[in-house]
Protein backbone atom coordinates (compact mmCIF):
# COMPACT_ATOMS: atom_id res chain seq x y z
CA UNK A 1 0.00 0.00 0.00
CA UNK A 2 1.48 3.35 -1.03
CA UNK A 3 1.25 6.15 1.53
CA UNK A 4 -1.31 8.89 0.92
CA UNK A 5 -0.93 10.71 4.24
CA UNK A 6 2.51 11.21 5.76
CA UNK A 7 3.20 12.62 9.22
CA UNK A 8 6.49 14.45 9.65
CA UNK A 9 7.27 15.30 13.27
CA UNK A 10 9.80 18.13 13.47
CA UNK A 11 11.79 19.74 16.24
CA UNK A 12 12.63 22.49 13.72
CA UNK A 13 16.28 21.37 13.56
CA UNK A 14 18.37 20.92 10.42
CA UNK A 15 18.19 17.14 10.84
CA UNK A 16 14.40 17.24 11.01
CA UNK A 17 14.37 19.37 7.87
CA UNK A 18 16.39 16.68 6.08
CA UNK A 19 13.69 14.18 7.02
CA UNK A 20 11.05 16.59 5.73
CA UNK A 21 12.89 16.94 2.41
CA UNK A 22 12.93 13.15 2.11
CA UNK A 23 9.21 13.02 2.93
CA UNK A 24 8.51 15.73 0.33
CA UNK A 25 10.18 13.64 -2.36
CA UNK A 26 8.16 10.57 -1.33
CA UNK A 27 4.95 12.59 -1.23
CA UNK A 28 5.62 14.00 -4.68
CA UNK A 29 6.30 10.53 -6.11
CA UNK A 30 3.20 8.98 -4.49
CA UNK A 31 0.80 11.93 -4.65
CA UNK A 32 0.66 11.99 -0.85
CA UNK A 33 -0.09 14.80 1.59
CA UNK A 34 2.36 15.79 4.32
CA UNK A 35 1.17 16.78 7.78
CA UNK A 36 3.73 18.61 9.94
CA UNK A 37 3.84 18.21 13.71
CA UNK A 38 5.87 20.14 16.27
CA UNK A 39 5.68 19.07 19.90
CA UNK A 40 6.62 21.35 22.78
CA UNK A 41 7.41 19.42 25.95
CA UNK A 42 6.07 22.03 28.36
CA UNK A 43 6.23 19.82 31.48
CA UNK A 44 9.95 19.32 30.84
CA UNK A 45 10.55 23.07 30.56
CA UNK A 46 9.95 23.82 34.21
CA UNK A 47 11.61 21.99 37.07
CA UNK A 48 9.33 22.65 40.06
CA UNK A 49 11.44 20.46 42.35
CA UNK A 50 14.25 22.99 42.02
CA UNK A 51 12.00 25.97 42.47
CA UNK A 52 12.39 26.98 38.82
CA UNK A 53 9.25 27.25 36.74
CA UNK A 54 8.53 28.68 33.35
CA UNK A 55 6.36 31.77 33.44
CA UNK A 56 3.24 31.50 31.34
CA UNK A 57 4.44 34.45 29.24
CA UNK A 58 7.61 32.51 28.34
CA UNK A 59 5.56 29.45 27.42
CA UNK A 60 3.17 31.58 25.35
CA UNK A 61 6.15 33.12 23.55
CA UNK A 62 7.64 29.69 22.86
CA UNK A 63 4.35 28.47 21.41
CA UNK A 64 4.01 31.59 19.26
CA UNK A 65 7.61 31.31 17.99
CA UNK A 66 7.30 27.60 17.20
CA UNK A 67 3.98 28.12 15.40
CA UNK A 68 5.54 30.85 13.26
CA UNK A 69 8.57 28.66 12.51
CA UNK A 70 6.31 25.72 11.61
CA UNK A 71 4.23 27.87 9.24
CA UNK A 72 7.39 29.29 7.63
CA UNK A 73 8.80 25.78 7.16
CA UNK A 74 5.57 24.59 5.54
CA UNK A 75 5.55 27.65 3.27
CA UNK A 76 9.13 26.97 2.10
CA UNK A 77 8.31 23.32 1.31
CA UNK A 78 4.87 23.76 -0.27
CA UNK A 79 6.33 23.80 -3.78
CA UNK A 80 7.91 20.38 -3.22
CA UNK A 81 4.82 18.53 -1.98
CA UNK A 82 1.20 18.94 -0.94
CA UNK A 83 1.06 20.21 2.63
CA UNK A 84 -1.81 19.28 4.88
CA UNK A 85 -2.14 20.26 8.51
CA UNK A 86 0.57 22.15 10.46
CA UNK A 87 0.07 21.03 14.03
CA UNK A 88 1.66 22.35 17.19
CA UNK A 89 0.95 20.32 20.31
CA UNK A 90 2.28 20.10 23.84
CA UNK A 91 3.22 17.05 25.88
CA UNK A 92 5.65 14.16 25.67
CA UNK A 93 6.81 13.97 22.05
CA UNK A 94 6.67 10.17 21.99
CA UNK A 95 3.03 10.05 23.05
CA UNK A 96 1.92 13.03 20.98
CA UNK A 97 3.46 11.70 17.75
CA UNK A 98 1.82 8.31 18.16
CA UNK A 99 -1.52 9.86 19.16
CA UNK A 100 -1.45 12.28 16.22
CA UNK A 101 -0.59 9.50 13.76
CA UNK A 102 -3.59 7.55 15.03
CA UNK A 103 -5.93 10.56 14.95
CA UNK A 104 -4.96 11.50 11.39
CA UNK A 105 -4.92 7.91 10.18
CA UNK A 106 -1.55 8.43 8.50
CA UNK A 107 0.00 5.72 6.36
CA UNK A 108 3.62 6.61 7.13
CA UNK A 109 5.67 8.60 9.63
CA UNK A 110 8.94 10.10 8.38
CA UNK A 111 11.20 11.45 11.09
CA UNK A 112 14.79 12.31 11.73
CA UNK A 113 17.12 10.68 14.17
CA UNK A 114 19.98 12.39 15.94
CA UNK A 115 22.09 9.24 16.13
CA UNK A 116 22.86 9.62 19.83
CA UNK A 117 24.72 6.75 21.43
CA UNK A 118 25.83 5.58 24.85
CA UNK A 119 25.14 7.64 27.95
CA UNK A 120 23.55 10.52 26.03
CA UNK A 121 20.98 8.16 24.51
CA UNK A 122 20.38 6.43 27.84
CA UNK A 123 19.79 9.73 29.62
CA UNK A 124 17.77 11.47 26.93
CA UNK A 125 15.99 8.43 25.56
CA UNK A 126 15.06 8.11 21.94
CA UNK A 127 11.84 9.62 20.72
CA UNK A 128 12.39 7.99 17.33
CA UNK A 129 13.00 4.56 18.84
CA UNK A 130 9.80 4.72 20.87
CA UNK A 131 7.79 5.86 17.85
CA UNK A 132 9.23 3.04 15.71
CA UNK A 133 8.19 0.50 18.36
CA UNK A 134 4.70 1.86 19.07
CA UNK A 135 3.45 3.61 15.92
CA UNK A 136 0.23 2.43 14.28
CA UNK A 137 1.92 2.58 10.85
CA UNK A 138 5.36 2.17 9.25
CA UNK A 139 8.05 4.65 10.32
CA UNK A 140 10.86 5.77 8.03
CA UNK A 141 13.83 7.22 9.90
CA UNK A 142 16.27 9.61 8.27
CA UNK A 143 19.64 10.05 9.95
CA UNK A 144 20.94 13.59 9.86
CA UNK A 145 24.16 14.14 7.93
CA UNK A 146 27.03 15.16 10.15
CA UNK A 147 29.11 18.07 8.90
CA UNK A 148 32.71 18.67 9.94
CA UNK A 149 31.60 21.54 12.20
CA UNK A 150 29.05 19.36 13.97
CA UNK A 151 31.54 16.51 14.41
CA UNK A 152 34.05 18.86 16.07
CA UNK A 153 31.46 20.16 18.56
CATH code of residue 122: 3.40.50.620
pLDDT values of the chain reduced to their tens digit, one per residue, 153 residues: 889 999 999 999 888 999 999 999 999 999 999 999 999 986 544 455 433 455 677 788 889 999 999 999 999 998 889 999 999 999 999 999 999 999 999 999 999 987 555 554 444 458 888 999 999 999 999 987 755 444 444
The pTM assigned to this predicted structure is: 0.82
CB 3 within 8 A of CB 30: yes
Q: What is the pLDDT of residues 54-93, one digit of tens each?
A: 567 778 888 999 999 999 999 999 888 999 999 999 999 9
Q: Which helix (H) or strand (E) holds 150?
A: helix 148-152
In order of 83, 89, 143, 144, the CA distances from 63 in angstroms are: 21, 9, 27, 25
Q: Look at the chain and report how many structural domains it folds into.
A: 1
Instruction: Determine the structural domain holding residue 89 and report its residue range.
Output: 5-152
The helices-and-strands tally (H runs, E runs) of the chain is 7, 5
Amino acid sequence: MLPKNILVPTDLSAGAEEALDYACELARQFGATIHLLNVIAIPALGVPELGVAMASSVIDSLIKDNQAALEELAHRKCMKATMGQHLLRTGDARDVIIQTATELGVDLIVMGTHGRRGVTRALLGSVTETVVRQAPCPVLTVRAHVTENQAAA
